[in-house]
């Protein structure tokens, strides 16, 4: 193949368009990776509606990771103590299907689990749902999106009656006031931030509010930075709403005609006068009033949030109280306004459409809804009642299922739970107990491969054809433009092959991913995420397409679509719902033994657990080491100086980092990046410290906050070992 290929960046949910050309195009210098291999040249696709040709360092360097440390052949071993031996696909798939058959007889389908990824293309997601939820009859498919944005999903469903971010990126350039809460957009969604920042700089009247305990690059650019105490988001949101009510900045017509539950919400607000809120949040009354004034005086307010809101034991309530502000001011369904969740992974949105969490089904359907199950069973050609009415195991429930012995087969694909799950020592201990773990990935080694019995080599982005949906509901075709290494296969092909071997030949008789996508879109008909007007052929011909898009609909790529422009919502009465909730604060608040709150986050250059970016020298040089940010007020009494090694201890584990003493972090809070697993540094795993307590609605763990103490390493005496606290908060398996 010699022509350039238009595709999508496979890193984050911004979803930037890329234009990729082969290593040796005539008239071009050949780019080479650090080991001298020719690499594909990547630049931004100017025609892509979401990114207009912009890319960040991750997108720009993606091709450097494609040939490094690839898993090329299936491997197996009988126990974790043995080395892997190369096997044929036949042997590997026979081992998996034999194990499945045995479990179906001895323990039932619920002993089988799959943990997938927002790195999947929609076709991979869809076939995995059909295999697990349809043919095997267990809803035990969950994805790493559970750790990322499941609170946004449940917040949208509870407030609007359906999942689906109502906004689009064009709103970044049309808003009067951007309210960024729990998102370091400048580093984690850089191209979205570029678009917003340009608009903000050009228009002096446009306001930007950033809510974050850290003074991040995003906060530096704001007109108002509210460095609230971790866990006080709902107090702040209710405090802003209190002032909007008091000052008469609410849209009574919208509230009367388009919403329900306002009286209960206004009753809750009585408890949030400015003095109380400012004191709880640790901010000044003046700053709180400024935030409310910016909201109240703006015609179009756009809220943006990501993991800082979602990764919380009250994540759904936080999302709903952001939405409350939009409902009370009528800031939805119009240009420049709305509650906009920014997804972390490149195709977490496609995963939501395809039913890629343990409580949902394709086409924004719910496992618990009998009509939804019936519709899916019919299209899949399965008998009535085949799909279980019970939500399956979440990511964390799979870990506890290994602890109790209920899980007999764990299949992990395109994700790295041995770094990214909470309470990592407990997670690793559970993985060690797994009787049979299949790990399917493009790379080797990874931390999770250490716990696998079978390794399956996966073709990754660039080596298979499929689609991905970004945060603004734009679907882009990612065509294959290079060959997979060795015997690597597309994820969906592996799942389909297992399905056929289990006897579901008709259900998995797809010739290519084009056919898979065509079948999937049939399940979106008359749903909010309708995509029947989208196909591989149309994407190839027109470029990216935003949903909803019905069959036969003409496509105008220049025209961005918003949801709820007629102010009717997919609830039984067409009204959006207010939430009335009092914050419970953090699941594990600081106390005298563990006096600080640890918050975790991402850095500009790295992606998640470094499976790709750790193999790119330019990015390693940009972020060579993990670190801990400590406020001078917390560092001084402990005698901690810049660059001194600090041991961070929580009730569950410890990690060590060099100190960065900075006023950018609020006193009482410390920050560590979450990118370093055991492969990349010793004892620098942020999740060795975090806990698995989760939001009761979204079941998303509170990865953003736990109680810790600091011990300067220089003061630790020889032989002194870290011991988990006797007062373990969460010692028994959780049923979140
Ligand atoms: Fe890729 Fe996200 Fe960077 Fe865009 S912002 S180039 S999608 S990592």
Tell me how far the alpha carbon of residue 375 lies from the centroid of ligand 1, in angstroms.
Answer: 36
pLDDT band at 557 (very low <50, low <70, confident <90, very high): low
Index of the ligand 1 atom closest to the CA of residue 11 = 8
pLDDT band at 558 (very low <50, low <70, confident <90, very high): low
CA dist., res. 327 & res. 142, Å (int): 31
Please report which confidence band the pLDDT of residue 30 belongs to, taking 50, 70 and 90 as the band edges: confident
Q: Give the nearest ligand 1 atom to 62 CA.
A: 1
pLDDT higher than 50, residue 733: no
Encoded tokens for 278: 């400012």
Ligand 1, atom nearest to 189 Cα:
5
pLDDT in tens, 625-638: 999 999 999 999 99
Task: Please tell me the distance from the alpha carbon of residue 597 to that of residue 44, in angstroms, as a whole number.
Answer: 39
Nearest ligand 1 atom to the CA of 18 is 6
In 3D space, the residue among 353, 377, 378 whose CA is nearest the CA of residue 365 turns out to be 353
Categorize the per-residue pLDDT at 27 as very low, low, confident or very high, splitting at 50, 70 and 90.
Answer: low
Q: How many CB atoms lie within 10 A of CB 181?
A: 21
Q: Domain 596-720 maps to which CATH number in 3.30.360.10, 2.40.40.20, 2.60.420.10, 2.60.120.380?
A: 2.40.40.20
452 CA from centroid of ligand 1 (Å): 31
- Give CATH for domain 75-138+369-510: 3.40.50.740
Q: What is the pLDDT of residues 630-681, one digit of tens each?
A: 999 999 999 999 999 999 999 999 999 999 999 999 999 999 999 999 999 9
Question: Which tokens hold the place of 454?
Answer: 């079978």
Question: H or E stretch including 235?
Answer: helix 233-246
Q: How is residue 409 written in tokens?
A: 């087969």
Query: CB neighbours of 57 closer than 8 A, spacing ≥ 6?
Result: 604, 605, 618, 619, 622
Strand-pair category, 466-469 with 474-478:
antiparallel
Measured from the Cα of 346, ligand 1's closest atom is 7
Upper half-sphere CA count for residue 398 (Cβ side, 13 Å): 32
Whole-number Å distance, alpha carbon 190 to ligand 1 midpoint, is: 7
Q: Residue 197 pLDDT more than 80? A: yes
User: Which SS3 state, helix, strand or coil, does residue 654 take?
Assistant: strand
Sign of CA dihedral 216, 217, 218, 222: positive
Give me the architecture of the 5-65 domain, per CATH: Single Sheet (2.20)
Q: What is the pLDDT of residues 147-161, one digit of tens each?
A: 999 999 999 999 999
pLDDT at 726 exceeding the cut of 90: no
Per-domain residue ranges of the chain:
5-65, 75-138+369-510, 150-341, 596-720
What tens digit of pLDDT does each residue of 226-235 get?
999 999 999 9
Short-list 73, 119, 145, CA closest to 700: 145
Q: Which residues line ligand 1 at a C-beta cut-off of 6 Å?
A: 9, 11-12, 14-16, 55-56, 58-59, 190-191
Does residue 548 have a cis peptide bond before it, meaning omega lies within 30 degrees of 0? yes
What's the 241 CA to ligand 1 centre distance in angstroms?
34
In the reported structure, the alpha carbon of residue 521 is separated from the centroid of ligand 1 by a whole-number distance in angstroms of: 26
Determine the number of helices (DSSP H) and then strands (DSSP E) in the chain. 24, 28
Which residue's CA is the nearest one to ligand 1's atom 2? 12
Q: What is the pLDDT of residues 474-484, one digit of tens each?
A: 999 999 999 99
Q: What is the mean pLDDT of residues 198-206?
A: 97
Best substitution site from 13, 14, 52, 604 to test ligand 1's pocket, by max atoms within 8 Å of Cβ?
14
- Atom 4 in ligand 1: which residue has the minimum CA distance? 16
Flag whether pLDDT at 730 surpasses 50: no
Cα–Cα distance between 219 and 212 in angstroms, integer?
7
Residue 263's CB is within 10 A of a number of other CB atoms, namely 10
| 109-133 average pLDDT score | 98
- List the 17-21 sheet strands across, edge first: 5-8, 17-21, 41-44
Q: What's the average model confidence in pLDDT over 442-457?
A: 98
Fold of 150-341: Dimethylsulfoxide Reductase; domain 2 (3.40.228)
Residue of 63, 3, 1, 10 whose CA lies nearest to 32: 63
Nearest residue to 645 via CA among 653, 655, 636, 637:
655
CA distances from 433 to 141, 229, 399, 408 (A): 20, 38, 10, 10
């Amino acid at each position: 193949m010699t022509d350039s290929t238009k595709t999508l960046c496979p890193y984050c949910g911004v979803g930037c368009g890329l234009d990729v050309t082969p290593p040796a195009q005539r008239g071009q210098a050949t780019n080479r990776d650090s080991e001298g291999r020719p690499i594909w040249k990547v630049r931004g696709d100017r025609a892509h509606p979401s990114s207009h040709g912009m890319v960040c360092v991750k997108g720009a360097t993606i091709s450097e990771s494609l040939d490094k440390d690839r898993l090329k052949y299936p491997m197996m071993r009988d126990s974790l103590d043995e080395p892997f031996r190369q096997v044929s696909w036949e042997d590997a798939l026979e081992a998996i299907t034999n194990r499945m058959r045995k479990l179906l007889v001895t323990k039932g389908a619920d002993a089988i689990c799959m943990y997938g990824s927002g790195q999947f293309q929609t076709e991979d997601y869809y076939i995995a749902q059909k295999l697990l939820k349809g043919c095997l009859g267990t809803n035990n498919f969950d994805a790493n999106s559970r750790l990322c944005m499941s609170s946004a999903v449940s917040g949208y469903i509870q407030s609007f009656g359906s999942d689906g971010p109502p906004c689009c990126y064009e709103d970044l350039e049309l808003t009067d006031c951007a309210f960024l809460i729990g998102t370091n957009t400048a580093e984690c969604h850089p191209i979205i931030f570029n678009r917003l920042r340009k608009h903000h700089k050009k228009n002096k009247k446009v306001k930007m509010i950033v809510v974050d305990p850290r003074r991040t690059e995003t906060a530096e650019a704001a007109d108002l930075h509210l460095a609230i105490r971790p866990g006080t988001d709902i107090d702040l949101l209710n405090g802003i709403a209190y002032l909007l009510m008091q000052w008469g900045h609410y849209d009574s017509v919208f509230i009367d005609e388009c919403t329900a539950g306002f009286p209960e919400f206004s009753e809750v607000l009585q408890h949030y006068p400015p003095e109380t809120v400012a004191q709880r949040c640790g901010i000044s009354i003046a700053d709180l009033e400024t935030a409310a004034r910016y909201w109240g005086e703006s015609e179009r307010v756009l809220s943006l949030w990501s993991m800082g809101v979602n990764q919380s034991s009250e994540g759904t309530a936080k999302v709903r109280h952001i939405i409350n502000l939009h409902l009370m001011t009528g800031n939805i369904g119009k240009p420049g306004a709305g509650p906009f969740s920014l997804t972390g992974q490149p195709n977490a949105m496609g995963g939501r459409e395809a039913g890629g969490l343990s409580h949902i089904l394709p086409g924004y359907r719910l496992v618990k809804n009998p009509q939804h199950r019936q519709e899916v069973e019919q299209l899949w050609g399965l008998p009535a009642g085949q799909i279980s009415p019970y939500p399956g195991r979440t990511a964390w429930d799979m870990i506890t299922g290994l602890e109790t012995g209920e899980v007999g087969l764990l299949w992990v694909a395109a994700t790295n739970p041995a770094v990214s799950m909470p309470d990592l020592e407990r997670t690793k201990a559970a993985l060690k107990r797994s009787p049979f773990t299949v790990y399917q990935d493009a790379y080797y080694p990874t931390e999770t491969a250490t716990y696998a019995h079978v390794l399956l080599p996966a073709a990754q982005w660039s080596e298979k054809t499929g689609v991905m949906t970004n945060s603004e509901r734009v679907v882009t075709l990612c065509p294959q433009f290079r060959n997979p290494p060795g015997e690597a296969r597309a994820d969906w092909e592996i799942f389909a092959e297992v399905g056929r071997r289990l006897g579901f030949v008709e259900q998995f008789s797809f010739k290519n991913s084009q056919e898979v996508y065509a079948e999937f879109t049939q399940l979106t008909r008359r749903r909010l995420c309708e995509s029947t007007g989208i196909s591989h052929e149309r994407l190839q011909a027109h470029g990216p397409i935003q949903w909803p898009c019905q069959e036969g609909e003409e496509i105008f790529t220049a025209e961005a679509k918003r949801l709820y422009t007629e102010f009717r919502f997919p609830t039984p009465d067409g009204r959006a719902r207010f939430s009335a909730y009092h914050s419970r604060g953090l699941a594990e608040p600081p106390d005298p033994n563990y006096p600080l709150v640890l918050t975790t986050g991402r850095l500009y250059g790295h992606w998640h657990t470094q499976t790709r970016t750790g193999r790119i020298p330019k990015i390693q040089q940009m972020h060579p080491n993990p670190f801990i940010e400590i406020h001078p007020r917390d560092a001084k009494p402990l005698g901690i100086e810049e660059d001194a090694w600090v041991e961070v201890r929580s009730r569950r584990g410890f990690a060590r980092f060099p100190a960065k003493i900075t006023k950018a972090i609020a006193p009482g809070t410390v920050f560590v990046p979450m990118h370093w697993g055991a492969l990349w540094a010793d004892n620098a795993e942020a999740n060795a410290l975090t806990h698995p307590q989760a939001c009761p609605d979204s079941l998303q763990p509170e990865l953003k906050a736990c109680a810790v103490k600091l011990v300067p390493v220089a003061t630790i005496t020889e032989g002194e070992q870290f011991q988990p606290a006797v007062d373990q908060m969460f010692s028994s398996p959780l049923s979140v």
